[in-house]
Structure 1
Amino acid sequence: MLELQELVEEFLFDCEARGLSKETLKSYNFYMKTFMRFCLDKEVKNVDQLNSRVLKQYSVSLIKRGYEESYINTLLTVLKSLISYLVEEKYIDERIEVKNVKEKTKVIQTFSDFEVEKMLETLKGNSYIEIRDRAVIYMLVDCGLRAGEVIRLREKDIKENNTLFIQGKGKKERFVPFSAQLKRAMLKYERAKNSFFIDKKHTPDYYFLGRYGQPLSNFIIQDICRKVGERANITETRVFPHNFRHYYAVKNLREGLDLYSLSRLLGHSDIATTSIYTSSLRNEELFDIVKERTPLTTFNKRGGRRI
């Protein structure tokens, strides 16, 4: 009989061979450890003991532990990938159904314009680190990138027409435009970087570098955000890299950007993922946006015959 633990390790090796990112592999490892702890507790050691009843019990155990529905569904999605792998490799005869739990409609809490302005005002100083941190925060606000996308950004990804070439989740590629304000912050950072590392060892192709010339890490990006939040005394909303992405999304919707275009800018594979941001719009804001873009309004604005 084949041991489940060995097959889980084989599945994770296959994920690595398929070129999944280091961050994704790290998450998959953690999620599989969570599942295997449950299996050992239930004395499910062999693959032939795996069935729909075991998977339902696992789902219920996650709910009882108080995890958010979205997090539980993330774990279950990875579990579905494991099941698919076991079927493809003929370790099990048929696919075992794994049902997601129902998620509550969630209103995303993000920064106000005032809070963002307060944070931007604290980004002063002329040391290399201070100038770099300013450019990082400006980019998070202006482009809505994931922390990992900021970390992986290369110098060659900065295009002349004020756009960034981004390789996002699942190696999905996209271009993201940026403002003249961010361009100024980037030019100042590039001058500071060239001066700071003129006689120091560093990784030349990465855009953002740490004090010792190394690419940034998730921890450094989180620390930059935490510090700017503390200086601006932001207490209502957690100052975390992904919350700047939420701000970018909601701000663009409030300014009238359509959902499809926003989905492309964020690098979402499914527009349904982007649609969660509409819950952050008040009815009055939604009505104002729509009034400016009804078919008859736009027809008149284009110079058509007034009707």
Structure 2
Amino acid sequence: MRGVFMLLKDLAEEFLFNCQCRKLSEKTVHNYRLQVGYLLDYLSQEHEVTELEKVKPQMIKQYMVSMQKKGRKAQYINDLLKAFKCFFKYLYEEEYIDELITERIKNLKEPKVIIQTFSNDEVQRMINYYSKHDYLTIRNKTILCMLFDTGIRLNELITLTEDKIFNDYILIHGKGDKERVVTKSPYLSKCLFKYNIVKNGYFENKTKKYANVFLSRNGLPLTHESIEIIVKEAAKACDVDSGVRCSPHTCRHTYAQMQLKNGLDIYSLSRLMGHESISITQRYLEGIRNTDVIKAGTKTSPLMNL
């Protein structure tokens, strides 16, 4: 189909339809729609370009520069570029263009960001905060235990169903429609066992239409906001360090750093986290303090382990 005169807006719709066919998440498709739309608006308004044949790599670079001038962070601009590359890669593979327009456009250099996580003491206090014996309190405690002990994403926790929990592992349906397993420790098993007894008793005489592990008081799947509140309430009550962002995703960061500190190799951690590339997992190494590195190095000393 090379040489065919094509409108960018039509190609963008085709690209998004293809993303849906690939079963990408609704959030991913929504983000691609916005991000590609930003570029198309820029090309139309600043360069009067609405056809694929007129797009030049320099125009995309100029858009990135304009974002920098507006004060956008490098990570934000790189996320945009990632979407642009996916879009033009699709057009190249479908033979709408003869060369990959974005091939030589490089990412901006991002400053190293030390990920602030909960301390061991803060994790323990947050879990102990939910100490009552009613359904909602035990559910909330189990949610925290699940987040800290498996490192699963918020949406993975919300959509987790009862049939995915096995004796010593949990089957997670993750990003990109991919499945992976995470470990289920004896501690978490005990929490889940107690939670299921209370849950079954709570819903014994109530209608339960959903098989999600975690349900609201009315038997509905939990929302992102409700779990955010569970984490923030515990963190606030336990006077967590003000430099730590109190969110479910920080629980995931905490899980990763604790696993590394406890000696898990980065390759295994990458699989447990469901990362596409080990380079993503390596970010967690930056947050490990020198004292922890020295302690780990001493523990694994070659001569001390002869």
TM value normalised by structure 2:
0.89
1:216–1:26 Cα change, 3 Å: farther
Match of 1:201 in 2: 207
Aligned residues between the structures: 298
Give runs of aligned pairs for residues 210-225 of structure 1, distance below 5 A.
Answer: 210-225=216-231
Classify the secondary structure of the residue corresponding to 1:85: helix
Instruction: Give, in whole Å, the separation in 1 of the partners of 2:40 and 2:136.
Output: 42
Provide Cα deviations, 1:8-60, integer angstroms capped at 9, x if missing partner: 11111110011112232232233233333433432332222321011101211
Give runs of aligned pairs for residues 1-307 of structure 1, distance below 5 A.
Answer: 1-42=5-46, 43-97=48-102, 98-161=105-168, 163-234=169-240, 235-298=242-305, 300=306
**Are the aligned partners of 1:157 and 1:165 in contact in 2 as well (CA < 8 Å)?**
yes
Classify the secondary structure of the residue corresponding to 2:171: strand
Instruction: Give, in whole Å, the separation in 1 of the partners of 2:135 and 2:143.
Output: 12
- 2:25 maps to a residue whose letter is S
Deviates more, 1:12-21 or 1:228-237: 228-237
1:2–1:114 Cα change, 3 Å: same
Provide Cα deviations, 1:97-131, integer angstroms capped at 9, x if missing partner: 23211122221111112222221221123332222
TM value normalised by structure 1:
0.89
1:214–1:86 Cα change, 3 Å: same
Deviates more, 1:200-209 or 1:136-145: 200-209
**Are the aligned partners of 2:148 and 2:254 in contact in 1 as well (CA < 8 Å)?**
yes
Instruction: Give, in whole Å, the separation in 1 of the partners of 2:232 and 2:44.
Output: 38
Instruction: Give, in whole Å, the separation in 2 of the partners of 1:122 and 1:89.
Output: 55
- 2:300 maps to a residue whose letter is R
Classify the secondary structure of the residue corresponding to 2:67: helix
- 2:78 maps to a residue whose letter is N
Classify the secondary structure of the residue corresponding to 1:262: helix
Shift of 1:178: 2.6
Instruction: Give, in whole Å, the separation in 1 of the partners of 2:18 and 2:200.
Output: 41
Shift of 1:146: 0.9
1:49–1:129 Cα change, 3 Å: farther
**Are the aligned partners of 1:252 and 1:262 in contact in 2 as well (CA < 8 Å)?**
yes
**Are the aligned partners of 2:167 and 2:184 in contact in 1 as well (CA < 8 Å)?**
no
**Are the aligned partners of 2:116 and 2:243 in contact in 1 as well (CA < 8 Å)?**
no
Deviates more, 1:90-99 or 1:140-149: 90-99
1:72–1:200 Cα change, 3 Å: farther
**Are the aligned partners of 2:210 and 2:220 in contact in 1 as well (CA < 8 Å)?**
no
Instruction: Give, in whole Å, the separation in 2 of the partners of 1:137 and 1:236.
Output: 20
Instruction: Give, in whole Å, the separation in 1 of the partners of 2:224 and 2:37.
Output: 22
Structure 2 spans left out of the alignment, 5+ residues: none
Instruction: Give, in whole Å, the separation in 1 of the partners of 2:184 and 2:279.
Output: 25
**Are the aligned partners of 2:266 and 2:278 in contact in 1 as well (CA < 8 Å)?**
yes
**Are the aligned partners of 1:203 and 1:215 in contact in 2 as well (CA < 8 Å)?**
no
Instruction: Give, in whole Å, the separation in 2 of the partners of 1:2 and 1:15.
Output: 19
Classify the secondary structure of the residue corresponding to 2:66: helix
- 1:67 maps to a residue whose letter is R
Deviates more, 1:138-147 or 1:126-135: 126-135
CA RMSD between the two structures: 2.0
